[in-house]
């Protein structure tokens, strides 16, 4: 795959993409925040369990 093929592929991809509207953007933000919160909660729970084991053992 040469440079010209790569440029042609990039151009075709950019033609197919579209800018998301405000509703779709808000959905992406909500999903991202939910994911970050879920991972943070799981980490917090693991930390609490680890602290509890440290106290008893």
Q: What pLDDT digit, counting tens, does each position of 5-20 carry?
A: 999 999 999 888 888 8
Structure token digits, residue 42: 């799981």
> For residue 40, what pLDDT band results from cuts at 50, 70 and 90?
very high
Domain ranges of the chain: 20-57
Yes or no: say if 2 and 10 are a contact pair by the CB < 8 Å rule. no
Is 90 exceeded by the pLDDT of residue 47?
yes
Question: SS3 sequence, the chain?
Answer: CCHHHHHHHHHHHHHHCCCCCHHHHHHHHHHHHHHHHHHHHHHHHHHHHHHHHHHHC
């Amino acid at each position: 795959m040469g440079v010209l093929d790569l440029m042609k592929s990039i151009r075709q991809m950019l033609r197919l993409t579209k800018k998301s509207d405000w509703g779709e953007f808000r959905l992406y933000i909500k999903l991202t925040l939910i994911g970050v919160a879920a991972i943070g909660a799981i980490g917090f729970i693991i930390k609490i369990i680890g602290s509890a084991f440290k106290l008893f053992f």
